[in-house]
Amino acid sequence: MRDRTQYFHVVSRVVDRRKIFGDDEKEVFLQIIRRYESFSMVKVLFFCLMGNHFHLLLRVPGKDEIPLSHSEIWERLGHIYTPEFIENKKHELLEIDGCDHGEAHDNFYSKMADRMTSLSAFVKDIKQSFTSKYNRINNRRGTLWEERFKSLLLADSENALQKVAAYIALNPVRAGLENEVGTYRWSSLHLALQGDVKCRSGIEFIVSGEGSSQKGPQALNAFLNLVKPHGNKASATSVGANRSGGTRDTGQILLKRNRFFSEGLAIGPREWLRSFYMAKREFLSKTRKKIGSRVPGTYFKGLYSYRNVSREKNKYAEVD
């Protein structure tokens, strides 16, 4: 599935879950995300930055989806490297090949193409860049992050993308940082409401997919309709939970921590999960009899998780 466009919900936490992200740190981290997004071909569809962790909903293109010219690669490198570094790299390649093309150039362009279409490289870059800056400012050393990162593969379907994006958007309400969805400053939804072009573009894609038939305010209103009825903390806590996963208030469902959306490995329609299993079966259980466990709650009808995390004991049960 590496050559296809893929979608991921990524979560990463600070070591010891320390709340190091104040407004200044969140602003720096968001700038880093945007800078590496300009370099990479990975697109941030939605994000939410919290006190000790972050959520990203990412579109990762297939390696050969949009071939870049050599000039475009150099232009993108300018978003993360200084002009001096780029000129030195060009000179180094020129000395090796003796001209402006050759094996060294080809290897370099291939390496950059891999990096620009890699989920791991994108997340590694933004985390390392922030760590370097944070450690320098705070006179500290060592790792800043609890683990590599968690990633959930999502089906290329509006149902999966919209439900996970809505879940991420409600994270600040779930944590008690806002009383009404859309008011938390460090979320795609808030910035989209303030007119941010990139955040609006991401929401347009989530609502309408490729081609985005719903644009601007229309797409934003459609997304708000997904989350607004469920974004009131008081109304959600007033409804009792149904542990069987049957019918219950959708606000209660969305405002509950849901490990399926961070630890389920892959989420989508059951047939899509079967395709996922066939593509990855050499890395997965060979004795698995059932492919796909239904995500509990009628609001998530049609979504299945590869892992049934509700049956697993996990020290990270409190996932938000």
Domain range annotation of the chain: 70-116
Burial 133-155 (b: 16+ CB within 10 A, else e): ebeeeeeeeeebbbeebbbbbbb
CB neighbourhood size of 197 (10 A): 10
Q: Is the Cβ–Cβ distance between 291 and 274 less than 8 Å? A: yes
Least confident interval from 172-176, 187-191, 251-255, 277-281: 251-255
CB neighbourhood size of 281 (10 A): 11
10 Å CB burial of residue 131 (0-12, 13-18, 19+) is middle
pLDDT of the residue at 10: 96
Report the predicted TM-score, pTM, of the whole model to 2 decimal places: 0.86
* CA separation for the pair 225, 219 (Å, rounded): 10
pLDDT of the residue at 264: 74
Least confident interval from 22-31, 79-88, 279-288: 279-288
pLDDT of the residue at 213: 65
pLDDT of the residue at 287: 57
Q: Which amino acid is at 157?
A: S
Q: Mean pLDDT, to the nearest integer, of 178-186?
A: 89
Strand 304-305 with 266-268, pairing: antiparallel
Per the structure block, which two tokens stand in for 105?
Answer: 């150039």
* CA separation for the pair 163, 90 (Å, rounded): 45
pLDDT tens across 65-123, in order?
Answer: 767 889 999 999 999 999 999 999 999 999 999 988 899 999 999 999 999 999 999 99
Q: What is the mean pLDDT of the chain?
A: 83
Least confident interval from 58-62, 168-172, 284-288, 303-307: 284-288
